[in-house]
Structures are given as structure tokens and as C-alpha cells.
Chain A
Amino acid sequence: MKHLLSIDELTVEQLTALLDLTDHMVEISSRPVPKVPALRGRTVASVFFEDSTRTRLSFETAAKRLSADTMTFNVGTSSVNKGESLRDTIETLSAMGVDAFVVRHKSSGVPHMVTEWTDASVINAGDGWHQHPTQALLDCHTVTRSFGTGNDLTGRTVAIVGDVKHSRVARSNVRAFTMLGADVVLVAPRTLLPPEFIDWPIRAVDSLDEVISDIDVLYLLRMQRERMDAALVPSLGEYSARFGLTRQRADRLKSDALVLHPGPMNRGVEIVVDPADLPGSRILDQVRTGVSARMSVLYTVLSGGSVPPAGGAE
């Protein structure tokens, strides 16, 4: 596997191999000195055309735990308009000697385009509304390891709630959870669903109350305030009342149901209860797992993915 651009491009075997390798990375991360020399001498460049401190730090921490060198290229949206084309930017960085690009962009497809302009590996760290494959990987790892049923989610129902239309997290997770055998149900106002999803392996329901007591995983998406300005929902209050995780809804969850959120949370909007009061909350586990999942991806694309990294500390 040279690149990780989209969950759609993975086979089930590749997905489960990444999940299993993540277990190994979790073990490395738990050591007193959480660092192995697996990627020593390799250079990982984070190229973030859209700000995302959390994702960037997660990738850079992952790279450092594998002893890779890191460099960071932060592009304000304005400098994109200063005349340098996307291609020029990538070719320039590539010439400095990069083994893997970690790319985030507000427009769908940019990581795909980058693969045309460099020989390096490319990892999609989120492109537009399209894909965020490492998020899906860490989410699947968090969920499967919580349930303790290996990589199998057969018989489990995952509800993804909120702004599916504008969500790369949702697009990646619909696919990833389905590949592991789960049933995925989308819960959102019609304005926040994609225009046409007849061929998606999911069903959609109109109300969270309809499914809240039957689901095994409640995946809350971030509700962005600008969606209200675009008249996609009448108000955040109304959104919260119809789709937010209120105390009443939390009380109706199954006792072993998990609650996930990709962060950053809008407290009082999609999540009204304090997650600290939710026994099923895995929101901090997601962040922790994120580093290990990204170690697993970096290792896989940069090593050819065959041999697990050497166990010894540096």
C-alpha cells in the first residue's frame, strides 16, 4: 500500500491489517519510552492547506514515535491565491526530499492530485467533504476494541448523527463500519444529508428518538455554526432539540452503547450532556488511539507494510 487516500480503496483485509497493526502501536505508545527506530531516516511532511492543529499534531507525534523526521508546511488559505499553483507547492516540497506527504485540504480530491506530482507516499489527512481515512481507522479501532469482538462488528448498529453532507468523517466511517459488518444508520435533517445516496450501504431515519434505544454506537458529528447561517437548519437550538444527545436520550441508550465524537465538540449543541457523565463515552480514547492508528498508517505506507516494526526502544 503506497498511499492512503480513501477508505473506499481498501480491501477488508487491508483495513483489518491496519487495525491489528494499531494494537501493536498502542503497545509501543504505552511504553516508558514510546519510540521505535522503524522509520529512522525517513521524512514525513505535513502539508496542511486547511488549519487543523489536532490532526497535524497527532500525525507528527505518530511520525516521531517511529523516529521519522518531520517537517510542517502550513498554508494559509490566502497564500494559495498568491500565484503558486498547488502543483508548484508540492513539487517544491518534494524536491527537498520527502518520503510521505500528509495532506489536508478544504477541497475534495487534493490528496489524489498530489499523487500525480510526487513519487512520495501520500496520506489523506482530510479532504473537503470527501474522506478522512485515519479518522475512520481510529474510530473502528476504538469501537472494535471496546466491544472486544476482534475486528468484527456483525450485528452491531452504528448511528451517525448530524451533518453528514459536509462530513468527510461520515463518508469514511460509513464505508469502514460497513466493511467490518456493522449496520450503519444516518440520522440528520434532509438539508444535511447528501443529495443522493441511494447506492450507499446504509439507511437513513428522520429522528434520533426513533433509533436511540436500539443502537450500539452513537457517532455524533460536529455541527458547525456556519450551517445555521446558510439556512440549513433553523437554529442550533432546534438542531439540538431534534438531534442532540440530551440527558433524556442518553438515558434511553443501551447500557453498553458507545458514544463517539471526532472533535472538537460543540457542547450544548450536538452533545448536551457532559461526556464525563456518560459511561459509554469513548471520546478521549479516540484521541489516544489516533496517534497509534496514524503510526500504523505511516509504517504501512513507508515500509511496504510487510514486517511489523522492531520492538526494541531506541
Chain B
Amino acid sequence: MSSFVLRGGTIVNPDGNFNADVVVRNGVIELVGDTKGDLPVIDATGCFVSSGFVDLHTHLREPGKEEAETIETGSRAAARGGYTAVVAMPNTDPAQDAVHVVEFVRARGEQVGLCEVLPSGCITIGRLGQQLVPFGALAKAGVHLFTDDGTGVQDPLLMRRALEYAGQLGVVLAQHCEVARLTEGAVMHEGACCSTLGLPGWPALAEELMLHRDIELVRLTGSPMHFLHLSTARSVEMVRQAKLEGLPITAEVTPHHLSLVDELLTSFDTVFKVNPPLRTRADIEALKGGVLDGTIDAIATDHAPHSDHSKDQALDAAPPGMLGLETSLGVVNTSMSLSPRRIAEVLSWNPARIANVSDRHGRPIAVGEPANLAVWDCASEWVVSRDHLVSKSRNTPYDGMTLRGRVRHTVFRGELVVKDGEALK
């Protein structure tokens, strides 16, 4: 195991920021303070040093769709984005609804060794919305978050049973809020823009109706719930109200819903097709408000790789989804003004807690802590290029855009996996 010192950075910790070097040895933080001597120096001047980021929402596509991404390429993209842990979404093929599948995903993540891959589980077998997965066996196999992401659980009775049953096991259900009947054939946000473009509209109501239902189910069952990729102003308001009432819910938004507006679809570029769809400026402002006031707990990427081939279709046929892991910090920092502390909260500390990995991720920078670290700045400008991504796919909506703020180094289990923005292995 290697040892080195991160020199000249500003530590971002829950109890405050301070300037210090960080010595990493044998996978743990050995020293925080001033250093001299002959350890290899990794320059952190002008950077913040925080716990590594944790993504609650990553589609790694393996098993089943390795043409778009693999656990290896996705892990590398994660590391490059400052992530030391990612929750792998279960809409693989086969789906992550059985112990052997989640064990494969976890083992492959360990083999790759660029970040910790945390498999999520489906709520229903095959994500078909009919029969519950074996929550007990999957929980025993280490699964903490369960979701049918890609679709919402439509049946309210099944959702109630899932909350009652899974709540007892201490695991968390994560809902993709979308009433499918309201979004059949939908391509983009329902509003003025879709009306002009003649594209089938995706009403905000489809998200809000299911969110409302599930908040009430949480109230009824007392089981905790996490809400994935909320995208509308009304959704933020509902979560705010429910939290005021003390309900055990958490919520995430994506970097793209904080930065991109539905009008981008006037280009008819399928890279902007995503589920939930890009919304209006008013929605974007409301989501930012939610991030600022704590209504939104986490920013999660919904990193959704798709091959160029599958995106080179008409808008109705192209699959929804966009890349997110390698650009998230820059996009968030460019889109809104957040303190380094709040950035660490929404990208690392809170998601680590929601994913139930805060024994090893999202930790303070202190002696003896596991060395899962991200070194980043909020000032340097860089231009995103789809040709300079380590993800296997190229479907970034930010190609050619200038972002401010970048991940410089990533340390995973004491090893430097990203240095000066480039993946080392």
C-alpha cells in the first residue's frame, strides 16, 4: 500500500474548514497538519480536501448492456468525478432482484477496485411491478437501497406492502416517481416548448402524483423512503412540507435538472432526452432552493450511459438518459453558488448516510479515518469534451461547455486513483 501526502489543501469537515496537509498511509489517514519530510507529495494547493463523493444513482449497465458501460468503465468515470462509492441501479439484465446478481456486481466492483460499488436491489422481481423481491435475503447480502428505478412502482397496494415489509429490515426503498399512465409516449416536459415542437408532453403531475401518494404511504407505514431525481417545483415543496411534519424521507436531485432547461430540445438532440425530463427555469430555481435550504439531501448523477448507436434514433425511439459522473461537481458549482461545506454535504456526507456506508464514506478528515478522499476546486475552468471521457459512452449534454470547478485527485482506500484529473488505472 502506498503512502503520500496531500499538500496545501483546505480540509472541508463538518466542524469547519482549515488548511492542512493530509498524510495517507496503509489505507488510512495517518496525520492531518503540517508535514515535512520525504513522502511523495500530491499537490492540493488551491483545492478543497473532503471525503470522497458518494453517488446514490449510477447506472453501470453491467450485467446486460456492456456496449454502453461496464462496471470497470463506470467505476473509472466515478473516480474521475471524485466518487469513492456509487450505488449501482438495479435495471440491469438480469435485474438486481436476486442475491447472485448483486453479489456479481459487488464482486466485479471489488475486482476493478476504483471505487466501492454498492449494488441496489429491485423492489419487484424483474422490475415488473408484480411480485416483491426477497428483501430479507438481499438485505443479508448487503443491499440497503431498493428501487425499481426506470419505472415507479405503480400499484399502491404493492408499494404499501413493500414499505411495511422492508421497513422492518432496516433497509430503504427509493422511488422513481412517475405515474406511467400519464407519460405514455412522452418525450419532453409538458409545457409551452413541447406544444410548439409537437413532442408528446411529460406532465409534472406524473411525478407529483406518485410523490404525494408515497409521502402518504410513509405517513401510514412509518417506513423511511428516499425519492430519486425530483424535477419539479411542486415536488420540492411537497418534500419540504413532509419533512416539516417529521416524516422519514430523503430526496435527491440531479446535476442536469439543476442546469438544463426543456427548451434545449428545440435542437431535437436526443442527448437531452432524459427521465424525468428537463423542466422549466422555474423548476430549476425551485430545485436550487431545495438544495440550499436542505429540503434536498443529496445531488445524485443518474449517470445513464447510452451508445451513440442507440441515441441516433428519433426522439420517441431514443432511450432516455445522460452521463453525469465525470461532470457533476463542475455542473453543480457552475449552476449555483454553494459553499464547499454544502457541496461536501450533498455530494458526500448525506448520500453516504442514505446509502448506509457512513462507517467508511463521508467521514471527517481525521487521523485514523479510512482514506476515501476527493480533492477538488471551485475555481478552475475547463471545457467538457465528449471525446475526453473515460465512460464507455459519449452521451454528455455538456459537450463543449465551460464548467467552473473540477475534481483534481481521488483517493480510494488509500490509493491515488485519479491524479490531476486523469484516471491512473
Contact = CB atoms under 8 A, between A and B. Distances in A.
9 contacts: A80-B313, A85-B310, A86-B312, A107-B316, A107-B317, A108-B315, A109-B268, A128-B316, A196-B190
A130 B316 CA distance: 13
A128 B199 contact: yes
A249 interface: no
A194 B194 CA distance: 8
Given A110-B314, A113-B314, A129 B198 contact: yes
Contacts of B195: 194-197, 200
B197 A130 contact: yes
Contact of B268 (A112, A196, A197): A112
A109 B199 contact: yes
Contacts of B2: none
A196 B192 contact: yes
A86 B199 contact: no
Nearest to B269: A113
Contacts of B197: 108-109, 130
A107 B199 CA distance: 8
B201 A107 contact: no
Contacts of A24: none
A210 interface: no
B388 interface: no
A129 B268 contact: no
Contacts of B201: 195
A109 B272 CA distance: 13
9 tightest Cβ-Cβ pairs between the two chains A and B: A109-B268, A129-B198, A130-B198, A194-B195, A107-B314, A87-B312, A85-B312, A107-B316, A196-B192
Contacts of B194: 194-195
Nearest to B309: A85
A171 B195 CA distance: 9
Interface of B: 187, 190-192, 194-201, 203, 267-268, 270, 309-310, 312-317
B96 to A, nearest CB: 27
Of B200, B268, B309, B317, most A-chain CB atoms within 10 Å = B268
Interface string A62-103: 000000000000000000100001111000000000000000
A105 B314 contact: yes
A261 interface: no
Nearest to A170: B198
Given A129-B200, A130-B197, 14 more contacts: A49-B314, A85-B310, A85-B313, A86-B313, A107-B316, A108-B187, A108-B199, A108-B268, A112-B268, A128-B198, A194-B194, A195-B191, A197-B196, A200-B195
Contacts of B315: 107-109
Q: Which label, helix, strand, loop or mixed, suits the secondary structure of the A interface? A: loop
A197 B192 CA distance: 6
Contact of A198 (B192, B309, B310): B192
A195 B200 CA distance: 10
Nearest to B200: A129
A58 to B, nearest CB: 21
Nearest to B201: A195
B246 to A, nearest CB: 36
A157 to B, nearest CB: 22
Contacts of B192: 196-199
Nearest to B194: A195
Of A86, A109, A129, most B-chain CB atoms within 10 Å = A109
Nearest to A91: B312
Of B191, B192, B198, B199, most A-chain CB atoms within 10 Å = B198
A197 B201 CA distance: 13
B278 to A, nearest CB: 15
Contacts of B191: 195-196
A242 interface: no
A127 B197 CA distance: 10
A300 to B, nearest CB: 23
Contacts of A85: 309-310, 312-313
A74 to B, nearest CB: 16
Of B190, B312, B316, most A-chain CB atoms within 10 Å = B312
Contacts of A168: 198
Contacts of A156: none
A131 B198 contact: yes
A106 interface: yes
Of A49, A107, A197, most B-chain CB atoms within 10 Å = A107
Contacts of A129: 198-200
Nearest to A165: B195
Given A112-B268, A195-B201, A106 B316 contact: yes
A171 B309 contact: no
Contacts of A88: 312
A89 to B, nearest CB: 10
A110 B195 CA distance: 17
A214 B139 CA distance: 71
Nearest to B188: A108
B198 A80 contact: no
B166 to A, nearest CB: 36
A252 B401 CA distance: 58
Contacts of B309: 85
A88 B197 CA distance: 25
A49 B268 CA distance: 17
A105 B313 CA distance: 11
Contacts of A105: 314
Contacts of B268: 108-110, 112-113
Contacts of A49: 314
A168 B198 CA distance: 7
A233 to B, nearest CB: 18
A86 B315 CA distance: 11
B237 to A, nearest CB: 21
A195 B190 contact: yes
A77 to B, nearest CB: 10
Nearest to A88: B312
A251 B330 CA distance: 66
A224 to B, nearest CB: 15
Nearest to A197: B195
Of A108, A127, A171, A194, most B-chain CB atoms within 10 Å = A108
Contacts of A199: 192
A105 B198 CA distance: 13
A86 B198 contact: no
A131 B315 CA distance: 15
B190 A109 contact: no
